[in-house]
Amino acid sequence: MPKETRQLPTPNLEKSFEPQTFEGKLYAFWNENGCFDSYDESLPGQKSFSMVIPPPNVTGVLHMGHALTNTIQDILVRWQRMKGANTLWLPGTDHAGIATQTQVEKAIAKEGKGPTGRPLTRHDLGREKFLERTWKWKEDHAGQISNQLKRLGSSLDWKRERFTMDEGLSKAVREVFVRLYKEGLIYRGERIINWCPRCQTALSDLEVIPTDRKGKLWNIRYEIVDGEQVIGSVVIATTRPETMLGDTAIAVHPEDERYTAFHGKEARLPLMGRKIPVIVDAYVDREFGTGALKITPAHDFNDYDLGVKHKLPFISVMGKDGKITSEGGAYADLKFAEARDKVVADLEAAGVLVKVEDHANKVGLCQRCETVAEPLLSKQWFVKIQPLADPAIDAVKTGKIEFRPKAWEKTYFEWMNNIRDWCISRQLWWGHQIPAWHCPKCEHIEVALHDPSKCPSCGTSLDASNRDEDVLDTWFSSALWPFSTMGWPEQTQALKTFYPTSILETGFDIIFFWVARMIMMGIHFMGKVPFERVYLHAMVRDEKGEKMSKSKGNVIDPLTVIDQHGADPLRFTLASMAGQGRDIKLSVDRVESDRAFANKIWNATKYFHLQWNEEGSAVTMPKEGVTEWLKSREKKLHPINRWILGEVNATAREVDRALEAFELNEAANRLYQFGWLEFCDWYIEFSKQNLRKGGELRLETLYTLRYSLETFLKALHPIMPFVTEELWQSLPGISAHQFPLREKNGAPPVLTLMLQEFPKGEDFSLSEKSAAQVRIQKRFIEAIRNFRGENQLSPKKEFAVRVKAKSGSEEFVEVVRSNDSDLKSMTRLTSIEVLGALAAPGDTDALIALSEFSVDLWIDLKGLVDVEEERKRLEKEMAKAESDLNHSRGKLAKPSFVEKAPPELIEKERAAERVALEKIESLKKAVERLQALK
RNA sequence: UGGAGCGUAGCUCAGUGGCAGAGCGCCGCCUUCACACGGCGGAUGUCGUAGGUUCAACCCCUAUCGCUCCAACCA
């Protein structure tokens, strides 16, 4: 028994485009009727098209960047869906470790005071309670971002929504961790890492943002000793004097003659007194500063490498708590900043501070809280990255994955080739806790899929308290997103159908954080790349090109824009700007003009209804359907109708091609051009003439309007889903299209535009003859309008025009003759008289020279036009014609051009020359007549 | 320091080896029977600068200036 078609009541179109009145209703209708559904299995031979959303922060708020990426993705998925693919666009959110934890910490800090009167911290609550709070926070906020995505019109398959910390994904994370550990690709070690003293956690290299700071360069004298004897001294510059407490060597360049005598000797570390070796290494830049370098292996990345290379001791003087450690002697327990002041003062007192200079340098700030991150030694978990990076580099090199724009591949290679091991442990509570247990007795570390109850090495019983306290970097779970969301590690049907995903669309700012890591994990665990194409969009900035930020107050909130103008105009604006390389400078003005476009289409549809339902002569749909009806008469159709049928199909084809090529801006521009300029400005105006004539021509024109409008709405739907749906719903004779896959899965037919077939562009092809006829009519009309405009003649002023035919003007004359009444009515001419080649203009005739058609138009000026104005117009025309002539002659005069240029081009140039000559001749005579008049 | 991108009409941006385009803004005229979120007409550019390749360059090449971003970094 066939299911009943789901449908909306036919809308009554408001006076103008008012998006608030229908957007919500339409989204709910689509969603409730399963229009966004994907199916685990495609039909044999059917294409699958899948994308995963870049998961926004679960407690986040939609910003313009989200609006852009989701608009682009929604356009692609709607288009593919209409083309019949089994489309999956998978929604979900990210737990966003540090960001979310920080939000909750702030909330509890506001709530109350701890035991000593300071604000509450997560430690006052304890891990378990704090996590409960965070889960609740997540539940309270999670709906927000999803609802905002719905406001945009995103056709996400909500039934498959995922969260990085839900059960399935957590299982995948654990599986990956355990497997990488067993493969030796995850290890735990004491390394130098970036530490945020405020967040109290390790950070990956990527989470530290180098920032320009005005600093100082302190020059410190180190004595060089041989045994106990002082043999000289070296001055060393540093931007971080407090780190000297942890110096374990000084380094000079091996070939630096100034210091040759000191090779193999020792330096005495000021303030601390201990002796440290002088080492030589070509790493030292002889040109910079004094050419000598102090080495603090525990607190500087470069020094760390040198420390490892030269087997130096590592002395940690700076602690995770932001204070100097006990290794710092007299400075212990001072905060870093205090320690710096005291060290500098003491150095000065000791007379070893040689000078202090201003110096611009960079410090690394924590991406989340902008605290200065300190490099320090710490025991952390790492991913050994090279074995994962190599195949990932290869995948892009061999074209298994393609980046667009292509230039980003270089950026990708650059980073991947210099990649460092990835520090994945975070000293946070919100996240995936590392599945490792530390045996308190034998110190064995057990990493396991299932919580162990005792140490497999010594049998000591283990419980939750023995579990490693750290959680994983948020990006660790994001890296698995394309397959963890589809049920991995189970071998699900969804994975078979939808992995690899078709396209990954995201911002270039997370190529390293996310894209690269997904590629590595995808290849390693799935044996296949996670996506075939990476489409990187630009950064949305304000109209001045500045990054939008709350502190600058220049944020354009997508939801406000949607409230004011609707989702469609915003989407259209974003789509037409999506082609831009790096920056999208968004202005609300632009959205407003795209709103005008929506309004234009709205009114064009209203025009259609007005004509279709004209009182007393309501039309019915032909039983074979409009397309068939028109198709069967194609060759006999009125040229204007044939022309627009060809145009709308050409537009649909072009939109399809542009989307295939990721040229969203091109698709948007095409639709705009067609919709406004061809359809509204020309076709509708022409149609008014034909509708008036009644009979078969009226019917034919109504069907042509109906067909063109529907085809256009279909082609526009991916970019402007709401307004196109609302308008389509109003059309007479629409019917539900049921894709075979939906039918097979028992989905009911839904009367919706979003499940219509995307126009193939094959129904009608452009007829050159009709197009030429329309061109002539347009040109004629434009010429008259231009004459009016330039002479500031009121549109109401009527006059007659005479057409002087010359040889070669047969087609023009024929078109003007056979469309006499239409042309008169559209230009408000009293008559159009065609004259023979021998006719001469009257004494007071003005001239419009349409030389490209070998035609002169004459208009009697008497009582019509100011002679002076007309003379100006003619002179302007003349100047243009002369410059055209010069241009053509200049080219043709060059023998090299005539010899080497392609013949068709030479012919074109000769024709242009003839046209210009003819025009000049006509214009000359006209000017002469005007002179005589004066 | 390395890599990338950009520099076209007042503004925001398209663009193609063969006489420069759009939107907004601007200037006229028009409330004409889909639309004033409208119609019609108009003005505006040595296409960053200097060379080169080519019959022909805004487009290709080289250099140069300016802006932006990314990566690395000098202690």
- The CA distance from A816 to A822, in Å, is 9
Q: Is the pLDDT of residue A402 over 80?
A: yes
Q: Is A761 left (phi over 0), alpha (psi -120 to 50) or beta?
A: left
Nearest nt to the A789 alpha carbon by C1': B41
Under DSSP, the state recorded for A754 is: G
Q: Is the pLDDT of residue A34 over 90?
A: yes
**Res. A934 pLDDT band, cuts 50 70 90:** low
Query: Tens digit of pLDDT for each residue in A420-468?
Result: 889 899 998 999 999 999 998 888 999 999 999 999 888 888 898 999 9
Distance A623 CA to B55 C1' (A): 61
Distance A902 CA to B66 C1' (A): 40
Query: Tens digit of pLDDT for each residue in A819-867?
Result: 999 999 999 999 999 998 888 888 888 899 998 898 999 998 888 888 8
Nearest nt to the A300 alpha carbon by C1': B75
Nearest nt to the A683 alpha carbon by C1': B34
Length of chain A equals 934
Nearest nt to the A286 alpha carbon by C1': B74
**Res. A46 pLDDT band, cuts 50 70 90:** very high
pTM of the predicted structure, to 2 decimals:
0.92
What tokens appear for A535 in the block? 């489409």
Annotate A711-722 with b (16+ C-beta within 10 A) or e (fewer): bbbbbbbbbbbb
Distance A603 CA to B73 C1' (A): 60
Nearest to A276 by CA among A235, A246, A242, A237: A246
Annotate A661-685 with b (16+ C-beta within 10 A) or e (fewer): ebbbbbbbbbbbebbeebbbebbbe
What is residue A600's predicted lDDT score, i.e. its pLDDT? 95
- The CA distance from A857 to A88, in Å, is 60
- The CA distance from A326 to A765, in Å, is 84
Query: Tens digit of pLDDT for each residue in A238-255?
Result: 888 888 888 888 888 888
Mean pLDDT of chain A: 89
- The CA distance from A238 to A715, in Å, is 64
Using CA atoms, how far residue A635 sits from A388, A557, A638, A765, A777, in Å, is: 62, 52, 9, 11, 20
- Say if strands A249-252 and A292-295 run parallel, antiparallel, or are unpaired: antiparallel
What tokens appear for A143 in the block? 């709906």
Cβ contact A55:A139 at 8 Å? no
Under DSSP, the state recorded for A683 is: I
Query: Tens digit of pLDDT for each residue in A777-820?
Result: 999 999 999 998 888 888 888 899 999 998 889 999 999 999 99
Which residue's CA shows the smallest distance to C1' of B28?
A792
Place of tokens 């210099």: A418
Over its C-alpha atoms, chain A yields an Rg (Å, rounded) of 38
In A406-500, at which residue ranges do the beta strands (DSSP E only) sit? 422-423, 425-426, 436-438, 445-447, 471-472
Place of tokens 């919500």: A24
Distance A588 CA to B25 C1' (A): 14
Place of tokens 């442990």: A425
DSSP secondary structure string, A480-519?
Answer: THHHHTTTTTS--HHHHHH-SEEEEEEEGGGIIIIIHHHH
Contacts of A386 (CB under 8 A, 6+ apart): A419
Distance A796 CA to B32 C1' (A): 9
Distance A121 CA to B26 C1' (A): 60
Beta bridge partners of A202: A195
Angle, vertex CA A690, rays to CA A689 and CA A691, nearest 5 = 95
Angle, vertex CA A607, rays to CA A606 and CA A613, nearest 5 = 85
Distance A919 CA to B52 C1' (A): 39
Distance A636 CA to B63 C1' (A): 62
- The CA distance from A63 to A558, in Å, is 6
Sign for the CA dihedral angle at A812, A817, A819, A821 comes to positive
Distance A302 CA to B75 C1' (A): 10
What is residue A543's predicted lDDT score, i.e. its pLDDT? 63
Strand B bases near protein CB (under 7 Å) are: 2-6, 11-15, 18-19, 23-24, 28-30, 32, 34-35, 37-43, 54-56, 68-75
- The CA distance from A711 to A28, in Å, is 24
What tokens appear for A672 in the block? 């705009």
Beta bridge partners of A225: A230, A266
Lowest mean pLDDT among A290-299, A613-622, A876-885, A897-906: A613-622
Nearest nt to the A208 alpha carbon by C1': B71
Helix (H, G, I), strand (E, B) or coil at A282: coil
Nearest nt to the A676 alpha carbon by C1': B35
C-alpha count within 13 angstroms, C-beta hemisphere, residue A121: 10
What is residue A539's predicted lDDT score, i.e. its pLDDT? 83
Distance A615 CA to B33 C1' (A): 14
Beta bridge partners of A191: A378
- The CA distance from A643 to A652, in Å, is 14
What is residue A581's predicted lDDT score, i.e. its pLDDT? 64
Cβ contact A868:A875 at 8 Å? no
- The CA distance from A842 to A802, in Å, is 10
**Res. A287 pLDDT band, cuts 50 70 90:** confident
Helix (H, G, I), strand (E, B) or coil at A861: coil
Place of tokens 């009226």: A698
Nearest to A320 by CA among A193, A499, A419: A193
Over residues A4-30, mean pLDDT: 92
Nearest nt to the A508 alpha carbon by C1': B70
Distance A413 CA to B67 C1' (A): 26
Nearest to A783 by CA among A841, A827, A839, A828: A827
What is residue A779's predicted lDDT score, i.e. its pLDDT? 92
Nearest to A422 by CA among A656, A686, A202: A202
Nearest nt to the A360 alpha carbon by C1': B74
Over residues A766-771, mean pLDDT: 91
Taking each helix axis from N to C end, the angle separating A768-790 and A810-818, rounded to the nearest 10 degrees, works out to: 80
Place of tokens 């559209």: A826
Under DSSP, the state recorded for A120 is: P
- The CA distance from A91 to A180, in Å, is 27
What is residue A164's predicted lDDT score, i.e. its pLDDT? 95
Nearest nt to the A17 alpha carbon by C1': B37
Distance A901 CA to B51 C1' (A): 25
Cβ contact A853:A915 at 8 Å? no
Distance A502 CA to B58 C1' (A): 37
Task: Name the residue type at position A23.
Answer: E
Nearest to A835 by CA among A863, A816, A861: A816
What is residue A585's predicted lDDT score, i.e. its pLDDT? 80
Cβ contact A536:A511 at 8 Å? yes
Distance A316 CA to B29 C1' (A): 81
Query: Tens digit of pLDDT for each residue in A371-399?
Result: 888 888 889 999 999 999 999 999 998 88
Cβ contact A246:A401 at 8 Å? no
Nearest nt to the A212 alpha carbon by C1': B73
Distance A915 CA to B51 C1' (A): 37
- The CA distance from A164 to A156, in Å, is 17
- Say if strands A86-90 and A48-52 run parallel, antiparallel, or are unpaired: parallel
Query: Tens digit of pLDDT for each residue in A605-651?
Result: 999 999 998 866 678 899 999 999 999 999 999 999 999 999 999 99
What tokens appear for A635 in the block? 């060759």
Place of tokens 């066939």: A2
Which residue's CA shows the smallest distance to C1' of B41?
A789
Nearest nt to the A251 alpha carbon by C1': B75
Task: Name the residue type at position A21.
Answer: T
Query: Tens digit of pLDDT for each residue in A181-230?
Result: 999 999 998 888 888 888 888 888 888 888 777 778 888 888 888 888 88
Query: Tens digit of pLDDT for each residue in A293-344?
Result: 899 988 888 888 888 888 888 888 888 888 888 888 888 888 888 888 888 8
Taking each helix axis from N to C end, the angle separating A684-693 and A639-660, rounded to the nearest 10 degrees, works out to: 150
Nearest nt to the A236 alpha carbon by C1': B75
Q: Is the pLDDT of residue A1 over 80?
A: no
Nearest to A700 by CA among A762, A652, A642, A647: A642
Contacts of A697 (CB under 8 A, 6+ apart): A638, A690
Distance between first and last Cα of chain A: 87
Beta bridge partners of A353: A220
- The CA distance from A714 to A764, in Å, is 16
Taking each helix axis from N to C end, the angle separating A768-790 and A639-660, rounded to the nearest 10 degrees, works out to: 100
